[in-house]
Every structure is written in structure tokens, then in C-alpha cells.
Structure 1
Amino acid sequence: MLQTDKISPMQLFMMLILAIGLVQHVTIIPLLLQASQKDAWVGVLLTLPLMLVWALLPWYIVKHTGHTALMEWIGDHVGTVAAKCMASVVSLFLLCSAFITLKETITWIQVTFLPQTPLLVTSIVLLALCFYAATKGIKSLVITSGILLPFVLLFGYFVMGANFEFKRYTLIFPLFENGLLPALKTSVYMGGSVMELLVFLLMQHHVKKRVKRSHLLITVALFVCLTLGPLMGSLAAFGMEAPLLRYPSYEQWRLVTVGKYISHVDFLSIYQWLAGAFIRISLAIVLLPEVWQIKARPVKNGLMLGMVGVLLALMAAPLSDISFLAYLSVYYKLSFWLLLLFSLILFMLVYNQVRRGAKKR
């Protein structure tokens, strides 16, 4: 790979903040509120120290596998069968991740501002854009993220400050009315979303410099902040009505007014949501050939187009929003345990190789 095709750690994590941050900022908020209501924000805070410790696992992995593609390293040091098994699991994860984001985004679009547009039409348009971006490669996605992210953050701070007058933070108390268990449930959902950070291992061979421990720790802390903001804001603005809302983060935009004569600025939330969804789905599509180490462009494009076709078929399947929320709840619970197991397995594989290398020396 040419040096000019590589990206910096900062560019990588800016893209991940936009892609994974959508989950923390939007997708899991209803799950957290339904699981533990006012205790949800405490559960998120409890997750922070645990995730900071967990972040040392991927840091150790990337430190000792260097600039080698992860699946290539597994194939060389563990075996081809193990690499293919890992690639199959990761491919399924990428497909589920892209489908959840696509379904959530298209449903929100239909509910909020395009109620008369057929679901498949908006799905095809968004997937076509994502496929085109994916064919241009990771470097193009990184550059696009660098353009989109500053405005996403700017609008986030704007909505946080603009509706501050409607928030009563006394509504986030009292705590633990139903014991500590609800807050612990929240930690599982939050942990499952934060551990999606593992996807950076699939791109480590695209990075110019070695990823530092501080990069991962800061990113984990930012993910937690991305959840705490809209979560506490929803409780402070809507109280015990917040768990009943389908899109609590979006509803905060509907409170915003600028002076006496300007309202309905919630169109800015469309930019925020679509920016995150676009990068997240495009990244999932572009990583699929990376996982299988496919170099030939026609084969890569064919595989990515196949994934787009599967996503479109899934969108055509009858799935109510209630069933989808139930699926999300199960998915993020499983995601927590499976991603934890996956990171531990990778850590042990790398650790054993490091020990063997030390003994040979």
C-alpha cells in the first residue's frame, strides 16, 4: 500500500467517532431509558472505568500486530481455518451493524419528514450513496468524515445550549428506586456499543503511525460523553415521559427556538443523523472485502454490491418497529458478551505469540 493511501490515527478515530458515535448518541438511548429510566445515566458512568480497562486489550493487540492486516496476521500465526472462522464472524457483525443503522435511519426518516415516500425508495437512495462511497475506499471515507464531523459537533453543542431553559436536572433524581440492577443492565447495553471500537483493528494496516494507548482511552471517554449528553438531556427535559419516546435525542431538537420568530430548526438534526448513518453503513460495506483480504477491484465491488443487495432484501422484510426494538435489546446484550469474548480471544492469541517470540530470543 502506498504511503499516500495511509491515514493518521486522528483521522481514523474521527471517522469512528462519527460512525460508532451514532449508536451512542441515538440508537441505544431508548434502550437505556427503557431498561433503567432515571438510573440510566448512572449505569453509563459505571461503564466508563470498565471500558477504560477493556481498551487496554485492543491497544495490546495493535501494539504487537503492527501494520499487518488482522486477518492476515491470524492466518500467518494461527492458521487459515481460524482466520476464515474469524472473518465469517466479523462479516456477520458488519452486516448486522449496517442493517440496524439502515433500518433505524429509514424508519426515522419515514416517521419524521418523508411519511409518504416508500421505505424501499429511501433505502435504495441511501444504499446507493453508501456503495459509491465504499468503492472509493477508506481514505475517501476518512476525508469525508473530517468534513462532516465538525458540523455534527457544532450542531450538537447548539441544541444542548438552545434548549437548556427547558431542562430541569432535578428530574434525574432520586436514584436507585428499584435497586442497582437496572443501572447494571444499562452498563451491558453501553458496553456492547463501546466495544464496537474493535473495528479499528480491521483498519490498523491503513494507519501511518502506531495507535497509542491515549488514542483509545480518549475515544472511549468521548463515546461515554456522547451518550451522557442526550441521555441526561432527555430526562431533564421530559422527565418520566422520556422512556416512552421513540427518538429522545431528536425530540430535544423540537424544543429549540431561536428568539421569538425562528422555530423548527430540527432540520439540522437530519444532517447529524444522516452524516453518522452514511459513514457507518459505508464503513461496514468497505470493510467486508478487507476482512476477506480481497485485492481485485471487480471482486471487491461485487462483494460490496452483494452486501447492499442483502441489506435491501432485509429492509423489504416485514418487521415492525416494536419487533425491531426487541431485536435491538437482544442484539446489544449479545454484542457485549460476544465482543468481550472476541477481544479476549484475540488478546490471548497475540499474547501467546509474543511469549513464544520472547522464548526464542
Structure 2
Amino acid sequence: MSPHIGTSVTLDIGGLEALFRALIEDGRELVGPTVQDDAIVLTRIRGVADLPRGVGDEQAPGHYRLRRRSDQALFGFAVPQHSFKQELLVPRTELVQIRRSKTGLVVTEPPRPDRRVAFIGVRACEIAAIRVQDVVLRDGPYADADYASRRAQIFVVAVNCSDPSGTCFCASMGTGPRAEAGFDLAVTELLEPEHLFVVEIGSSAGATMLEKVSSCATTEAETSAAELVVANTRERMGRTVDTTDIRNLLVENLEHPRWDDVADRCLACANCTLACPTCFCTSTEDSTSLDGDDATRTRRWDSCFTMDFAYLHGGGVRPTVRGRYRQWMTHKLATWHDQFGSSGCVGCGRCITWCPVGIDITEEVAAIRREPGASRKAQ
């Protein structure tokens, strides 16, 4: 029976390797997790041998370490250091080139990217983050052409999480740990009694790819085992956050003393925004050749934590760290709903892990919730 959307098949490691080969033969570059410089990063991979076999991670506020697992799991870790955002909203890209000629100015837009990519090991929170960026950068009245072009060419192999980190809270945000949609194939890794991969088919492209791979029908026992993996993960989240009426909670507490407390600790280094899979702030730079005949406008990642990002004529509108952290957190968790109809946070926990001083966004929400309106009481 041919694979079709909504059904599952089971692969062994050889079958997973065959799937990767089929993707490469289909003209796709594989981008997935591998170990580099004592971290799990997303980069170009060639196959199963490049995956972090038997490697797990430890994540806590301001803390990240790899650890050796007692098994040979290929996806036995939480989210990698970076997100797939770097592949879609790339850190730096040319927007336009202007050249002066004898007949006048010649304006040239760079060619649209032509790069067919398969994302390997995309977690449910990452899929949610891509969906958020789709709304911001692709689906509005003024689509970002570079993002839209890259987005249209990706094939998504999701992985349902089995080992949440100490900073994960996707269950609280309703974005995981199971991938519900937005994938071509979704893998759940089973380690006992055999090392197998239950693969759910999410698109016709996914079904077509699996037709090229030898697979077995998923048994009821394998289906139950896969469901248990996700259920156990949900119970072992490292963090939780109460999202009840969170928009109004934050918007109505803009003068809460907790903002002063967090400002005393925050370095305004922008690590949280650069690690975040949904932050989309960018700036533009203009450069000119020494002879003045060529000029290039380039877009690069920026952050609402930098002083210049909020600069208007006459000065910055958020000169204090307090103001910049408050802007980031209230936008992410509150006013993002007003702009885009969802939260801007997917609960991946990167902002907690990669904060040098260990600021925990879930604890900041909890602190305000414990004593809302504290600033008004003090007046």
C-alpha cells in the first residue's frame, strides 16, 4: 500500500539513511543538527553519520553543556544552539546595488535565492516559529521577497521531542512537544526494544519521498510507543508559564517594579533576540566603493536591545535597559497578539539558556503575576 497523508510507516536506521539519500537525489541540500565546537548546531549534513548519535544536552538559565547518553539516540537532545530562522531570514543579505555609468544610474536587485533545502530534525516549537515568521514576513500585504523565496523551497522533516531541556516550556505555549502540522514528514524516535523511527506523513511531497524508501507499516505497539514518548516529554518540561490573560497582565503593568529589577541584571547584549526563532528585527546598511561608482544596500539582523535600533531624529526613544527589556518582553508575549494574532513566543527556551546572566522570561511573568499592580499600590 502506497504511503499517503495522515498515515505512518516505520523505518530503521538504514531506512532513515535511505530517506536522506532520496532527498539529496531529489536535488535537496540537507540542513540538520550536528556537533561542532561542543554544541549542537544546525548546518549542512550529508546523512545519518553526521547526526549527534548518543549525544544529549544540559540546558539551564545561562548554562549549556553536551553530555554523553547511555544509548545511541540520534535526536536525544532539546533544541540546538541556533534555530532554522538563520536559513529563512538570513543574518545578512543584499537588497539592492546601484552603479553609476555614463548614461546614468543602474539599479539592480540581487537574484532570488534558488536553493532547495530539506530541514532535518525540526522540533514542534521550531515549526510554530516558522509559522509565526510566515505571518510576519510572507503572508501580509508586503511580503519579504527573499524570505518568501527561501520558504517556498523547503522540505520539513520534523522530530517529535523525547528529551526536553531545563529551559523548555513549549507545552505551556501550546506549540509542542508533538508536531501537529506544518511538516512533510514527522519522526518519532524509538529506542526500545529496537532502534526505530515512526514516520508520520504530512504532505503529498512527504508521501512521494517515502515511496522511494523501503518501509514497514507501523504496528499498534509502535504507535503506542511513539505516543508515550510525546506524553512523557510533555510531563518533563523544564519550565512552565501561566499564559492566562497574559496580554492584559503585561500591558497593564508597564510601571511594575519588576522591570527595574530585571534591568539591574540585563546586559542588553541582545543574545535573547538573536537566539529567538521568531524575532525579526533588522536594519539596513549602505556602503559605497572608494571611487563612488558603486553602492550597495544590505539588510542585517538587529535587535530592539541596541540603542540605535530605536533611534529617531534627536535621539533614542528607549534609552534605558529597563525600557528595552520591557519592550521586548511585552511585544513578544502581549502586543504580538494585537499585530499578528498569536504569541511571539513558542517556548523553545533559548532566551533563557543563552542569557549570560540567566534571566528567565517565565520567572519574569510569574513575578508580575504574583503581585500585579504593585506600582499603583506604592503610589
Q: Indicate whether the TM-score tops 0.5.
A: no
TM-score scaled by length of structure 1: 0.23
The structure where strand makes up a greater share of residues is 2
TM-score scaled by length of structure 2: 0.22
